[in-house]
Chains A and B, each alone.
Chain A
């Protein structure tokens, strides 16, 4: 397998399109945000003051930011753990031979095809304190009114459920694919050795799914950190009282509503470093436990 390119520059030329894309959409913006994070800039960009690490020191002394960090960790942790546990169970159930299984599968998978804006609207409507059907049902059953607009923990819980629901299709597809590669011989051998269904699942199936789990762990974490923006914007706008203001949403508010570009850039730099470290840690520690068959 030692093919030679006819021309020394050919490989670089072929790489050019992707390098251009990376340069324009990733590298230049990253460098610009690092640069901007050292300034305080007026909304219209006509005035700027060099503040050194002022934006960063303000970040970590601000109670609002620390609060947002805590909220993010709770949010991301819950979305990842609940999402993976729930989806592996759903996928295992969907991996049976039943009449009409493809219909059930479609039902579980299509949540991924719904845009965040629509998913957010659907959930917000279901839990609308005044007109939501879920709120109405709960009132009929328990005679309790439920208003997530003035209950921080409830709001966070509902946003977590919505975020898990939105990502469910993606997780289920990968787990289903993973489950279908589990060799029947191994499961048969295990049952001959006397393992029951639950034991087989935990001792044979789950370890064999570990590459999928590892992949989904990273994807879900990135999702929980960055991609839930649309959902939160539609559902809570970070409220009530900053209860669902996770880091990426706070960044948006400071950067695009308050138009404090320098401060928002500092936040994006911190967020970038933070997620990079998390990913490296995951690669380092989780990968040792991943079994590639």
Chain B
């Protein structure tokens, strides 16, 4: 790390500094630098603070985000490819940047403990991956209903059989229906920005929901990329739990909402009504997070050269990085092509896509999983608002890299009607496609 550390400013620790200055032989306080951090507003941190560029891994980018996030409680449980991330957060605990840190028993315990920490009013962070995500999913799926602000990182890897310690983002499909906010990071920079913004958005009163920051494991966590970061002497304001949508739990405040609406085992009108109320609250809160995503992250998606394009690639995560190269190759071949990168999967940029894809003729959705969850999301969002033919592919999975050439091939096959040479499964939907193609797609889902 080559960041320059600013000279300490008056930060409410004058006594310590004075003592340390008076006795030069005194043991150096390992928390000294953390104690000198000063709180700045999220608006200043995200939108104004100067940044310096570093060349770091995705795990290190997450660590640097946590350093500036004023986290109270981080709980680790190792699973590849996330282990290094939480290990680095442990280093931050040693340096005093994170107040509490421990290794959980396994993911069920971790997610339950994170729920407890968040319910008690402190800022919580954890990370897991692949099989760990699914093991912890029971707890994770209950966080939104209980209105628990949390940031959890998911460094996606294979979960379906045959199991592999390889990249594959199928686990995102399971997270999409929990009621949590879900971001998908393309690179190390996104890992950093989305994590920091995640805490702020998660704790907004009219949101009060967990945020999942997903990335494609290994490709982002283990590879280095350029990350522009604010100075490490700054951090977010602490969580102000009283701002939350539900009261926090302590010795005097029982979990009132949960006591009132205790798990209702009777099948009666009240039970259904309570369930409807909780879930309506959750999904309305997801909707309300849109304005904060626009404010702090610059939008739910980014769009380049979509106007007047012959074809548009829509991608998220590492598939967006691959698509940037496909755009370059298509441009060299004289194909006018646009790129839409989706940052936020929940809430999903439905209105934005309808506006952008109204005149599109061909949409190609490359993905790092077998089922094509993003293609389905896109098709659902623009149904009735676009006549575009949608090619759900190329798809790679089980750890395969995505050759950029496969994306170009799908674009060309979509434009010319020639058969795609992809070995990987792809599928066609929407637009004026022939029924055989549609039938093939229906069989494929």
Partners in one complex: no
